[in-house]
């Protein structure tokens, strides 16, 4: 059991660019140091370990004081031989091996509590890292909003110039002004969301909820997680999974309970020693040995063995089920990480470059009257979709690496759906032949794989 816990504690986590960042590591350390949940789990583990010396000790002895007297008229001690004081001590003594079996059972159960503490620490670490990613996402959206404000200001200036010289329609100017007003609405919503993300992170750190948390670099500045082979990913998950370690420790505890239940068939002893002072008459003494008789073994000890064996079988099947689930989640995360990394390559090598070029080209052509203002609307809103989708893809990729370090048993789809800060509030729909509107009119970026659960746009 101790070797199992030691291997769990010393196992090297899977590589993660986010976890190696000093700012993130400091936030995680604060959360682990201040977390009342971790303190509670540590106290529970200490309480479980404190049970071992209790169950391995002999039962408390019994001291018996009494008097035996002849008649009711007077105390006859020292006068009658059968009258005396009585001092007796009785010590129960379990059958050899029973105490050690019970101690081994409790020791294994304490190991389960230690494994649960390890699981909690991994979960809190992952929660802090995900909260940090969410904060980076919403701040990235605010940065994108600032970029859009510059572009719409440029578009409005072009529309105004064209309108003033009689080459453009007033509606173009009004639509540009409308879009800039919508950006103000989006900024208010994003700033509110930034505060909620900050509060969630500070709650984990046990700090004042509105305490500022600086982010040293944007999400795009972190390197991508490393895609490992399937065999290596599964082996790492099996080695580091606290859930699997807890299941294995539960089987060990079940083995000890079976052994202890079988020893309950053997009788216990009670050793009694006593002395009976009789005043001036020579005192008497006694030594007795009592033995419990398991006469009800067919309905008690036998059923106890059956119960322990059945629970052991259940724990064995539980360990097998968790092992299969750990392997499945490792394969799922690797598959989705591979798709996410390919998605990022498509964004970096094509979509972002082409989207930015399309914006610049369209604005230039609008300035000289070669395209209409709806074309400007289309490319600028397309920029929102493309850069927002890239930001969401970055967040989803980092969260897959976080789940891998956590050795999470949660389905990756459920983890990633809505996992980032989501679409930019108030984003208008794009009516083009090349893009299909999603729910609420928000466009869906074609390059994001549907299976990954990444949210679209900004």
Q: Considering Cα of 66, then 69, then 75, then 78, what sign does the dihedral take? A: negative
Is residue 305 helix, strand or coil? helix
The angle at the Cα of 449, spanning 392 to 437, to the nearest 5 degrees, equals 75
**Partners of residue 274 on adjacent β-strands:** 88, 286
Q: DSSP per residue over 388-416, as a string? A: HHHHHHHHHHHHHHHHHHHT--S-HHHHH
Check residue 448 and give its pLDDT. 32
For position 76, what pLDDT does the model report?
A: 86
Which is it for strands 269-278 and 281-291: parallel, antiparallel or unpaired?
A: antiparallel
Rounded to the nearest 5°, which phi and psi values hold at 211? -65, 130
pLDDT at residue 15, as a whole number: 52
Kindly give, in sequence order, each residue whose CB lies less than 8 Å from that of residue 1, ignoring residues fewer than 6 positions away: 107, 108, 111, 249, 252
Contacts of 98 (CB under 8 A, 6+ apart): 260, 263, 264, 266, 268
- What is the distance between the alpha carbons of residues 421 and 200, in angstroms, rounded to a whole number? 13
pTM of the model: 0.79
3-state secondary structure of 205: helix
Task: Say what the pLDDT of residue 166 is.
Answer: 81
Q: Could you say which of 3.30.70.380, 1.20.1600.10, 1.10.540.10, 3.40.50.300 is the CATH number of the domain covering 2-62+96-264+310-452?
A: 1.20.1600.10
Sketch the domain layout of the chain as residue ranges: 2-62+96-264+310-452
Residue 456: predicted pLDDT: 35
pLDDT at residue 2, rounded to an integer: 44
Query: Tens place of pLDDT for every residue, the chain, 458 residues?
Result: 444 444 554 455 555 678 888 999 999 999 999 999 999 988 988 888 898 899 899 999 999 999 999 888 888 888 888 899 999 999 999 999 989 888 988 888 888 888 888 899 999 999 999 999 999 999 999 999 998 888 888 888 888 888 788 887 888 888 888 888 988 999 999 999 999 999 999 999 999 999 999 998 899 999 999 999 999 999 999 999 999 999 999 998 898 889 888 888 889 999 999 999 988 889 999 999 999 988 888 888 888 899 889 988 999 999 999 999 999 999 999 999 999 999 999 999 999 999 989 989 988 888 888 888 888 888 888 888 999 999 999 999 999 999 999 998 988 864 554 444 344 444 443 333 333 333 333 333 333 333 333 333 33
pLDDT score, position 110: 86
Cα–Cα distance between 108 and 2 in angstroms, integer?
9
Q: Using an 8 Å Cβ cutoff, are 423 and 444 in contact?
A: no
Contacts of 357 by beta carbon, 8 Å cutoff, 6+ apart: none
Inter-residue contact 9 to 213 (CB < 8 Å)? no
Question: Phi and psi at residue 439, in whole multiples of 5°?
Answer: -60, 135
């Amino acid at each position: 059991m101790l070797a199992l816990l030691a291997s769990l504690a010393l196992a090297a986590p899977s590589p993660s660019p986010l976890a190696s960042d000093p700012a993130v590591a400091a936030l995680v350390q604060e959360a682990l140091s201040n977390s009342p949940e971790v303190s509670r789990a540590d106290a529970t583990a200490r309480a479980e370990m404190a049970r071992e010396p209790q169950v391995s000790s002999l039962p408390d002895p019994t001291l018996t004081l009494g008097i035996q007297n002849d008649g009711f008229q007077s105390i006859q001690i020292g006068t009658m031989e059968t009258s005396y004081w009585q001092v007796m001590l009785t010590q129960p003594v379990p059958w050899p091996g029973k105490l050690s079996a019970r101690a081994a059972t409790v020791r294994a159960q304490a190991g389960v509590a230690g494994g649960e503490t390890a699981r909690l620490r991994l979960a809190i670490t992952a929660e802090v890292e995900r909260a940090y990613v969410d904060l980076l996402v919403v701040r990235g959206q605010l940065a994108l909003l600032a970029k859009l404000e510059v572009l719409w200001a440029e578009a409005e200036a072009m529309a105004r110039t064209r309108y003033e010289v009689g080459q453009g329609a007033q509606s173009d100017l009004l639509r540009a002004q409308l879009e800039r007003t919508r950006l103000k609405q989006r900024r208010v919503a994003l700033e509110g969301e930034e505060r909620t993300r900050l509060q969630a992170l500070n709650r984990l750190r046990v700090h004042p909820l509105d305490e500022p948390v600086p982010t040293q670099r944007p999400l795009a500045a972190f390197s991508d997680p490393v895609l490992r082979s399937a065999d290596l990913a599964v082996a790492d998950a099996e080695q580091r999974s606290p859930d699997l370690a807890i299941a294995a420790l539960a089987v060990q505890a079940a083995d000890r309970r079976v052994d202890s239940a079988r020893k309950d068939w053997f009788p216990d002893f009670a050793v009694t020693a006593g002395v009976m002072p009789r005043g001036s008459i020579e005192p008497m003494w006694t030594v007795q040995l009592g033995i419990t008789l398991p006469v009800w073994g067919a309905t008690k000890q036998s059923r106890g063995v059956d119960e322990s064996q059945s629970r052991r079988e259940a724990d064995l099947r539980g360990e097998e089920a968790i092992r299969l689930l750990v392997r499945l989640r490792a394969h799922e995360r690797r598959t989705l990480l591979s798709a996410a990394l390919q998605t990022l390559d498509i964004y970096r090598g094509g979509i972002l470059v082409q989207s930015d070029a399309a914006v610049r080209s369209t604005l230039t052509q609008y300035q000289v009257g070669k395209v209409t203002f709806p074309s400007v609307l289309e490319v600028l809103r397309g920029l929102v979709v493309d850069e927002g989708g890239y930001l969401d893809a970055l967040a989803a990729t980092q969260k897959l690496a976080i789940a891998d370090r956590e050795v999470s048993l949660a389905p990756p789809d459920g983890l990633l759906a809505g996992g980032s800060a989501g679409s930019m509030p108030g984003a208008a729909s794009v009516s083009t032949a090349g893009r299909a509107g999603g729910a609420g009119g928000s466009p869906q970026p074609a390059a994001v794989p549907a299976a990954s659960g990444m949210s679209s746009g900004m």
